[in-house]
């Protein structure tokens, strides 16, 4: 992967983040998607900016965006984009939202960028080279499960993907829990040691960049069975590593 690709990803994430900030306090045009999800005009504007920059620099690369259909090309490279992760937070005036961009090469995520524009935090990683926030290296915490801050996605319980008794057993095993409502933000919180664990259902656009950032910050991400992560898994159990096996054992229990 070239330095130019990394610079482009950071530039695109920052420019898209600027669009979100410019429109954060303005009246939003809101539409419904399938499954009850909402989309705003800012989602679309942010995505168009990112896609435009990629097409301008790498017209032969494939693109997997959140809002538009996949732009498939005969390429080893695919850009995976979430132009506004945390749309519902954004709509309600909560500043916990992000832009997530990842680059997949021959089936492996090799680059991840998450921009949390309201807090001026840009998380960046390249496969095998560590994870950084605004140029400072980050790493996961060393807290155990009893001390852990557990984040989770509310869709877990609504969809019934984890049996409720086992999930509530996990809740009872940690220090505190929170629902943040933005997958990329949650993954950076674990990666930077501000939380210890995150359990969610996911889509590649939501998780690709953040999962690599967490992995490069020495965290652990698997599915419920303990299999290594890929952005196309349906469920993600992410942690600082120290809490991981105990979490999986609890979640798999009847």
- Sorted by where each begins, the domain ranges of the chain are 3-137, 145-252
The answer as to CATH 3.40.50.11540 being correct for domain 145-252 is no
Beta-carbon count within 10 A of 249 CB: 13
Supply the Cα-derived Rg of the chain in whole angstroms.
Answer: 17
Q: What is the DSSP letter of 71?
A: B
Strand partners of residue 31:
39
Beta strands in 94-247 (DSSP E): 98-105, 108-116, 121-126, 131-133, 136-137, 149-152, 176-178, 197-201, 220-222, 235-239
Q: Is the pTM of this model over 0.75?
A: yes
Per-residue pLDDT of the chain (254 residues; tens, 9 = 90+): 688 999 999 999 999 999 999 999 887 888 887 666 788 899 999 999 999 999 999 999 999 997 777 788 989 999 999 999 999 999 999 999 999 999 999 999 999 999 999 999 999 999 999 999 999 999 999 999 999 999 999 888 776 677 788 999 999 999 999 999 999 999 999 999 999 999 999 889 999 999 999 999 999 999 999 999 999 999 999 999 999 999 999 999 86
Sign of CA dihedral 57, 62, 65, 68: positive
What is the CATH code of the structural domain delimited by 3-137?
3.30.540.10
Of 220, 149, 225, the C-alpha closest to 189 is: 149
């Amino acid at each position: 992967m070239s330095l130019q690709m990394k610079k482009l990803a950071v530039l695109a994430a920052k420019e898209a983040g600027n669009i979100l900030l410019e429109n954060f306090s303005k009246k939003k045009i809101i539409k419904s998607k399938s499954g009850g999800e909402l989309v705003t005009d800012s989602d679309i504007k942010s995505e168009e900016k990112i896609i435009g920059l990629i097409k301008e620099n790498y017209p032969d690369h494939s693109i997997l965006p959140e809002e538009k259909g996949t732009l498939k090309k005969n390429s080893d490279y695919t850009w995976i984009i979430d132009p506004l992760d945390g749309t519902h937070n954004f709509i309600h005036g909560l500043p916990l939202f992000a832009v997530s961009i990842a680059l997949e090469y021959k089936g492996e995520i090799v680059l991840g960028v998450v921009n949390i524009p309201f807090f001026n935090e840009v998380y960046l990683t390249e496969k095998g080279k560590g994870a950084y926030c605004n140029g400072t290296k980050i790493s996961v915490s060393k807290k155990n499960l009893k001390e852990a801050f557990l984040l989770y996605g509310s869709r877990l319980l609504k969809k019934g993907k984890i049996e409720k008794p086992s999930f509530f057993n996990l809740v009872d095993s940690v220090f505190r829990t929170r629902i943040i409502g933005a997958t990329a933000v949650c993954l950076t919180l674990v990666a930077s040691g501000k939380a210890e664990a995150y359990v969610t259902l996911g889509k590649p656009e939501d998780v690709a960049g953040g999962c690599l950032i967490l992995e490069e910050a020495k965290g652990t991400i698997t599915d419920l069975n303990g299999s290594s992560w890929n952005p196309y898994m349906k469920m993600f159990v992410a942690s600082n590593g120290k809490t991981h096996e105990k979490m999986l054992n609890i979640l798999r229990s009847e």
